[in-house]
Amino acid sequence: MNFFEAQDQARRLTGRLVGLLLLAVAGLIVVASLVVALALVLLDGQAGGDPLARALDPRLLGGVAVAVILVVALGSLGRHLQLRAGGSAVAEALGGRPLNLETRDDNERRLLNVVEEMAIASGLPVPAVYLLEDPAINAFAAGHAPDDAAIGVTRGAIETLGRDELQGVIAHEFSHVLHGDMRLNLRLVALLHGILAIGLIGHMLLRGAVLGGRGRSRRGGGHAAVLGLGAALMVVGYAGTLCGRLIKAAVSRQREFLADASAVQYTRNPDGIGGALKKLAAHSAGSRLGAANAEEFSHLYFGRGVRAMSRLTSTHPPLEQRIRRVLPHWDGSLPSPASRPADPAGAEPPSTSAPPTGTTLAAAVVASVGRLDAPDIARARQRLAEIEARLIEAAHDPFAARALVYGILMGGDPQSREKQRLALDSQALPEVLVELDRLAEPLARLAPGHRLPLIELALPVLRQLSTTQFAGFHACLERLMAIEARPGALQWALHRLVVQGIEGERRARRDRHLVDLGGPLSRLLSALATAGQGDGAEAREAFGQAAEALGVALDFMAEPALAADLDWAMERLVRLATAERAALLAAMIRCVEHDGRVEPEEAELLRAVAWTLGCPLPDPDRGGLASRPGERHDGQHR
């Protein structure tokens, strides 16, 4: 199953799950409405007539049903709004704290390195990393989309697991990001909270009736009716919650198996995830979290996290079963809880296999979307090692990160750079300008292919800017782009990536088709063809091949694209149906590799545009996507 099929499957699964829960809610509404209507009739105290018949009066029953629906809907909506910030809201609800990106703690630094390597290798935004001060071994990934994702890891995990084991756990969590599980998980939280609201109202009624009846005479049937109503709503609400948990657990168990298998696929090291699972089984604190609301998010965790009432309500398969799936020859022995393997001495060397040839390159790259492999992670580690330490450190500092982005996005033309610097002098903070001067020399030596990784590293700290700070930062970015009359496609794409990476993905229905988007496709593919082949006959030919591959009538636009034109195109292309994004991505690749080579700048451009489309491309070197100077994909030299 490729990335696009996995995303579609996650959406279908979400639809089915929501449908099942809505059926459960419908049943609850019917039962709760009858209970409330009957209680109202009894509280009315009028003699005569059958109470049940009066409770079944359509006007009374309909009014009560509407009220119950509103309770469930408002309960779900309220929880959804509380979690709209994405993964950070979940991490903070569980007591997590954002990990200091400049930490000197070896365990925390190791965790950050593993997460950053995994993100850069997969083409995903680097997620926010949270530390839970809990002795249990556990972790989770949460968010609505990769742009607002957060990875949470416990203190017990980073102190107990070796690097390979920690990498296996993080790979497991990245699988949930890549397979679209996060949005499904947060929707489950909101829906179950709405169902639980009925039970909570019943609990409050019952408690109020008991406390209100003490110390004074009870009014007979009325008081009894309130007690009965509260008890009945509690039973109905908690029964509905139990039904929801059964559905949640059944889905979650299968997604955990998939994530374990994906961790093995990504790292090519079953001993990593297998060792972490064995450590979890042997650890004295296990995986149970001490947070007060740990139960609500139980389906997000790497380990069980909470005590399950039965195997039916357990959101995770038994540990023994998970271990045997990744380590079929496991003998049943467990390691000492205190043992921790030594970290590997160095990175695995990148793959040296021959790159794909001809038109197979596009198919190979499309197949790699959303998939990781051990050489990808090793390449990401090597790429980060090639970047000067000053720039890596700058990406983790709030002031230096802003200066780093300004420096990367400033145009290559000296005259434009001078104008842009003057604009920054009047708009940017003095502390940021000092950092920009300090970074000028290493930025001038920055090798092609290193700009995108640095921006990815800087995004987590930039997301922590306050509203006022981001407004100032965003104004400076817009000013830089405005001064650059004709920004290159890469400059535009990196600028868009920074803004989207901080603001988050704009929610849009993916209901458009390629045949509906001729204008935006013409604009984007023309820009890519021109970026890869210049503005001559080769660019027109590259564009024609891409249009032919799409099977859509398109018009080549020879004039250089303005940033506003490309923004207009992307705002429409983000609505493209998931199933058709693979075809667009293949056409984009055909544009830039028409001459038989893909320069590092072109590979960065592809990744940046693919990111904004929600298609995470792996490291540019994978499958020969980024050529060395003088090499062609057909094996010939230029």
Alpha-carbon gap, residue 595 to 533, rounded angstroms: 7
CB 328 within 8 A of CB 311: no
Q: Which two tokens stand for residue 474?
A: 């965003």
The rounded radius of gyration (Å) of the Cα atoms in the chain is 28
Q: Is residue 369 within 8 Å of 585, Cβ to Cβ?
A: yes
CA max distance for the chain: 99
Rounded Cα–Cα distance for residues 151 and 139 (Å): 7
- Choose the catalytic residue: 116, 173, 505, 602: 173
Distance CA 406, CA 473 (A): 9
Alpha-carbon distance 158 to 106, whole Å? 10
Q: Are 383 and 622 in contact (CB under 8 A)?
A: no
> Helix 451-462 and helix 489-503: axis angle, to 10°?
20
Strands 128-132 and 97-98: antiparallel
Determine whether 173 is an active site residue.
yes
What are the structure tokens assigned to 259, written together?
A: 């994530």
The answer to whether 25 and 71 are in contact (CB under 8 A) is no
Which tokens go with 257?
């198996």
From the number of C-beta atoms within 10 Å of its C-beta (0-12, 13-18, 19+), residue 507 rates as: exposed
State both tokens at 16. Answer: 């089915």
DSSP code for 428: S
Residues 6+ apart with CB under 8 A from 632: 595, 596, 597, 638
CA–CA separation, 323 and 186 (whole Å):
27
Looking up tokens 């990593």 gives 272
Contacts of 26 (CB under 8 A, 6+ apart): none
Q: Which helix (H) or strand (E) holds 497?
A: helix 489-503
Tokens of 120: 């850069």
**Residue (of 138, 121, 222) closest to 172 by Cα position:** 138
Contact (Cβ atoms closer than 8 angstroms) between residue 29 and residue 62: no
**Whole-number Å distance between alpha carbons of 618 and 368:** 7
Residues annotated as catalytic (active site), given as ranges: 173
